[in-house]
Amino acid sequence: MLKKTVSLIILFFAGLSTVLAQNCNIDNLLPRPDKIVMGNANSSFELNAETNIVYDWNKKDLTPAVKELDRIAVEIFGKKMKKNTKAHGANNVIFKYNSSLADEGYILEFTPENILISSKTGAGAFYAVQTLKQIIPVQAYETPIDLKKLTFPTMKISDNPHFAYRGFMLDCSRHFWDVKTIKKVLDILAMHKMNRFHWHLTEDQGWRIEIKKYPLLTKIGSKREQTTTGRNEGMDGIPYGGYYSQSDIKEIVRYAQERFITIIPEIEIPGHSLGALSAYPWLGCEGTAGNYKTWPNWGVSNQIACAGRESTFKFWEDVLGEVIRLFPSEYIHIGGDEAPRDMWKSCPDCQKRIKENGLNNEAELQSYVNNRIEKFLNDRGRKLIGWDEILEGGVSQSATIMSWRGADGGIAAAKKSNYAIMSPDSHCYLNFYQTTDRPDELLCIGGYTPLRKAYSLDPYDKLSKDEQKYIMGVQANLWTEYISTPMQLEYMLLPRLSAIAEIGWCNPSPEEKDIEGFIGRAKELSRYYCAFGWNFGRHFYEDGVQIGW
Ligand code: ACM
Ligand code: ZN
């Protein structure tokens, strides 16, 4: 009887490894790699608990790829892989340097003896491992058992991204997301080969970044007495707050760096500033009541920082000085959106500034602010990004525009040779509804962006070949007025992030787009989301043949 049971177990594991080989996820990779060439149908490579990693230990930027491979091995085989600097025989994952590849590109090759990963950079090696992670059948992550081996057909994958900028923005001010949640978001971005995390840190509803020179920003500005309910219908009466200490930020920046994600911090200037104004009322204009409160409502407050007084510029520069020391990113985002300039109209200081500088109106005063802040950043080796409103009073040639009110801002920027990131609300706002099946949905900000709409984004629409050069990439955004739990955050983020990720990595032309094929791959990818414990929306076929998972 015992013998029979053992034979059955052996048969079961043998069967499992065959199943796993058959189920290698090659056709459903998302983002889709540039090129896959299959090898001899009768040859294969077997990955198992004894496979070694071979790499040059002096190449520090390979560490993230090696660590990621180890995380996969622990998940599947229950232990890390052995490491060598040279291959001794077969059964290795070998990292190789290849100077002829693009910056984030890679070649991932399965031979009968080894897996070979070639890249010019650590990022390329990391993305090769991400591809490998998805080729591994999802059952391997779902069934954590020992004795597993994975058999891959021989093949060669050559890949590299279309856009250098593949971003995601998270609003951490309307609702605050703890360090653990931010790390989970970074893991999700890494799996989608996204490389920018735009961190929205300051708002009317809360200031979320510790600034040593201005401690009241977090002591007062990070808290609100209560939060509105519904669509600004009532108040919940519950105090709300939270902020990232500088040590939290350093930890998160490091975590992101290990996934080749650059964090772009956003400090809103000059609007969306009630968090700061509540802490330091002297930042406000003359003639305002000065009795500012971190806002419990959603919407756009008409309060704004005063652009007439030097003390405001000193504040902005002090804050950005600390921000620059925390974030190595070349780009710093200064917001600039939805800044009602009415307070400036009646403020003697702002009007004096307008007159003294020969400005024509308040829009030009906002440009004056942007130009001074940009110079401050440039003098310190950094560059400015702002939402598309910064175009309104004229913008410097070196500023980068983030187009959100549709694509018009990005198009206007590219036409005047300013770099732009395409993030139109119509396709990239993941806080919009993803389904028309509303009774089961939690209240959303509004809008309607199903998965197929997100995938239909064409960042080059209406641009000539020459103008297209100024589109640095694409970005998905998640504003969190109506999103208050990590479960809900993930539900809104996935699977639509995969659409923007695929546009960022592959950017298929409108003729090349295979929408049904993409949706099928996104659905397959969602099995990995399940295996990794990530929540997601099940509305793959909205507007199509079938609603639901
Ligand atoms: C924005 O959605 N206000 C950039
Ligand atoms: Zn003023």
Residue 200 has pLDDT above 90, yes or no: yes
Residue 101 has pLDDT above 90, yes or no: yes
For all residues of the chain together, what is the average pLDDT? 93
Ligand 1 centroid from CA 337, angstroms? 6
The contacts of residue 313 (CB under 8 Å, 6+ apart) are 372
Please tell me the predicted confidence (pLDDT) of residue 147. Answer: 54
Q: Best substitution site from 204, 338, 385, 478 to test ligand 1's pocket, by max atoms within 8 Å of Cβ?
A: 338
Residue 242 has pLDDT above 90, yes or no: yes
Residue the block writes with tokens 């998270």: 170
Q: Coil, helix or strand for 95?
A: strand
Q: Report the C-alpha dihedral over residues 319, 320, 325, 329, rounded to 10 degrees.
A: 140
Nearest CA to ligand 1 atom 2: 404
Which residues of the chain does CATH 3.20.20.80 include? 165-513
Please tell me the predicted confidence (pLDDT) of residue 438. Answer: 77
Rounded distance between C-alpha atoms, residue 445 and residue 442, angstroms: 10
Rounded distance between C-alpha atoms, residue 269 and residue 374, angstroms: 12
Minimum-distance ligand 1 atom for the alpha carbon of 479: 2
Nearest CA to ligand 1 atom 3: 337
Rounded distance between C-alpha atoms, residue 339 and residue 342, angstroms: 9
Residue 16 has pLDDT above 70, yes or no: no
- Structure tokens belonging to residue 368: 């004056």
Please tell me the predicted confidence (pLDDT) of residue 196. Answer: 99
Residue the block writes with tokens 């809103």: 268
Residue 545 has pLDDT above 90, yes or no: no
Please tell me the predicted confidence (pLDDT) of residue 144. Answer: 61
Residue 5 has pLDDT above 50, yes or no: no
Please tell me the predicted confidence (pLDDT) of residue 365. Answer: 98
Rounded distance between C-alpha atoms, residue 275 and residue 221, angstroms: 4
Which residues of the chain does CATH 3.30.379.10 include? 17-159
What whole-number percentage of the chain has pLDDT above 90?
90
Task: Write out 119-138 in H/E/C secondary structure.
Answer: ECCHHHHHHHHHHHHHHCCH
For residues 316 and 269, the answer to whether their CB atoms sit within 8 Å is: yes
CATH class for the domain made up of 165-513? alpha beta
Q: Which ligand is nearest to the CA of 200?
A: 1
Please tell me the predicted confidence (pLDDT) of residue 11. Answer: 40
Rounded distance between C-alpha atoms, residue 126 and residue 433, angstroms: 33
Please tell me the predicted confidence (pLDDT) of residue 2. Answer: 41
User: pLDDT by residue (tens digit) across 66-89?
Assistant: 999 999 999 999 999 999 999 999
For residues 220 and 294, the answer to whether their CB atoms sit within 8 Å is: yes
Please tell me the predicted confidence (pLDDT) of residue 8. Answer: 39
Minimum-distance ligand 1 atom for the alpha carbon of 477: 2
- Structure tokens belonging to residue 248: 């939290």
CA 271 to chain CA centroid, nearest Å? 24
For residues 245 and 261, the answer to whether their CB atoms sit within 8 Å is: no
Please tell me the predicted confidence (pLDDT) of residue 10. Answer: 40
The pLDDT confidence band at residue 59, using thresholds 50, 70 and 90, is confident
Please tell me the predicted confidence (pLDDT) of residue 290. Answer: 78
Minimum-distance ligand 1 atom for the alpha carbon of 429: 2
Q: How far is CA 69 from CA 47, 58, 348, 524, in A?
A: 12, 18, 61, 22
Task: Read off the pLDDT of each residue in 313-327 and give the average, rounded to a whole number.
Answer: 98
Ligand 1 centroid from CA 320, angstroms? 21
Please tell me the predicted confidence (pLDDT) of residue 543. Answer: 72
Ligand 1 centroid from CA 38, angstroms? 45
The pLDDT confidence band at residue 515, using thresholds 50, 70 and 90, is very high
- Structure tokens belonging to residue 54: 């071979």
- Of 143 and 36, the structure prediction assigns the larger pLDDT to 36
What whole-number percentage of the chain has pLDDT above 70?
94
Name every protein residue with a CB atom under 6 angstroms from any ligand 1 atom.
337-338, 387, 404
- Neighbouring residues of the ion ligand 2, judged by CB less than 5 Å: 285, 306, 308, 347, 349-350
Q: Best substitution site from 337, 426, 429 to test ligand 1's pocket, by max atoms within 8 Å of Cβ?
A: 337
Ligand 2 centroid from CA 385, angstroms? 24
The pLDDT confidence band at residue 288, using thresholds 50, 70 and 90, is confident
Task: Read off the pLDDT of each residue in 199-226 and give the average, rounded to a whole number.
Answer: 98
Ligand 2 centroid from CA 136, angstroms? 59
User: pLDDT by residue (tens digit) across 125-167?
Assistant: 999 999 999 999 999 998 765 556 899 999 999 999 999 999 9
List 366's β-bridge partners, or say none.
Answer: none
Please tell me the predicted confidence (pLDDT) of residue 228. Answer: 98
Closest CA to 256 of 312, 313, 326, 359: 326
Residue 549 has pLDDT above 70, yes or no: no
Region of 250 (left: φ > 0; alpha: ψ -120 to 50; beta: rest) is alpha
This prediction has a pTM of 0.95
CA dihedral for 432, 438, 442, 446, sign (positive or negative): positive
- Structure tokens belonging to residue 239: 């105090």
Please tell me the predicted confidence (pLDDT) of residue 143. Answer: 73
The pLDDT confidence band at residue 440, using thresholds 50, 70 and 90, is confident
Task: Read off the pLDDT of each residue in 185-192 and give the average, rounded to a whole number.
Answer: 98
Rounded distance between C-alpha atoms, residue 520 and residue 540, angstroms: 8
Rounded distance between C-alpha atoms, residue 448 and residue 434, angstroms: 6
The pLDDT confidence band at residue 13, using thresholds 50, 70 and 90, is very low
CATH fold group of domain 17-159: Chitobiase; domain 2 (3.30.379)
Ligand 1 centroid from CA 168, angstroms? 13
